[in-house]
């Protein structure tokens, strides 16, 4: 393994490299890179390295209107595609994603259960679907949580809060809600609900986060998100 290689090399867009330059140049990020690249060299890791920063590369930092925060990628074969809660087309919907679609069906007029769980159309409209930990060993949820990913993703959230205006942050479950300390609620909308997992406590159904997001974006001169998926 080339000890000078960073996980951002050839994998993170120039815009995000510039936007995150302060954290990317920090020694802690070099340590994170070493851990992650070593894992990819010696383990089966999801998502594929080429999709590690898919959530970022699908939209530029200046285009982010909505942030949805997950915990870590799906750890099953062929599921994770670098977007939180999303799966590749043709893959069976995990329970959390199925519940997200159920809430959308009840919240957004005309939304129908899609044939695909690929959420990249949302990302292309400015929805940053980011996991707090961006990689995971196959079959071992949470296995990369001690690599240092959270310092990186917390920085991402804070930078988006500091530099943006009228962004919507959807925080589902206690883990995501702990990230609220990095968000300036005086200039952004933070919506909280239970995690969409069937195992979670509290109410996710009926939160109407998707319509509330669009109402807020429209009220602040931004185009709403088309939540439908073909």
If one counts every other C-beta atom within 10 angstroms of the C-beta of residue 73, the result is 26
User: What CA–CA distance (Å, rounded) separates 191 from 1?
Assistant: 42
Residues annotated as catalytic (active site), given as ranges: 72
Residue 99 and residue 105: Cα distance in Å, rounded?
A: 10
What six digits make up the tokens of 176? 């995501």
Cα 140 from Cα 146, distance rounded (Å): 13
End-to-end Cα separation, the chain, in angstroms = 41
Whether 79 and 87 have beta carbons less than 8 Å apart is answered as yes
Helices then strands, each counted (H, E), the chain: 9, 6
CA distances from 184 to 43, 115, 158, 164 (A): 38, 37, 8, 10
Nearest by Cα to 182 from 166, 160, 165: 160
């Amino acid at each position: 393994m080339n000890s000078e290689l960073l996980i951002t090399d050839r994998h993170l867009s120039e815009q995000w490299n510039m936007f995150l330059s302060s954290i990317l140049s920090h020694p802690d990020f070099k340590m994170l890179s070493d851990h992650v690249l070593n894992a990819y060299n010696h383990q089966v890791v999801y998502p594929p390295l080429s999709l590690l920063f898919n959530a970022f590369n699908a939209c530029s930092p200046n285009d982010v209107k909505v942030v949805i925060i997950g915990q870590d990628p799906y750890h099953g074969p062929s599921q994770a595609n670098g977007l939180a809660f999303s799966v590749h087309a043709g893959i069976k919907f995990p329970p959390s994603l199925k519940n997200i679609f159920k809430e959308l069906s009840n919240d957004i007029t005309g939304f129908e259960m899609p044939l695909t769980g690929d959420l990249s159309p949302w990302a292309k409209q400015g929805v940053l679907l980011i996991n707090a930990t961006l990689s995971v060993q196959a079959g071992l949820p949470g296995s990369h949580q001690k690599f240092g990913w959270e310092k990186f993703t917390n920085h991402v959230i804070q930078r988006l809060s500091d530099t943006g205006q009228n962004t919507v942050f959807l925080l589902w479950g206690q883990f995501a809600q702990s990230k609220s300390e990095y968000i300036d609620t005086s200039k952004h909308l933070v919506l909280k609900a239970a995690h969409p997992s069937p195992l979670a406590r509290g109410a996710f159904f009926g939160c109407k986060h998707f319509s509330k997001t669009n109402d807020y974006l429209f009220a602040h001169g931004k185009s709403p998100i088309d939540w439908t998926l073909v």
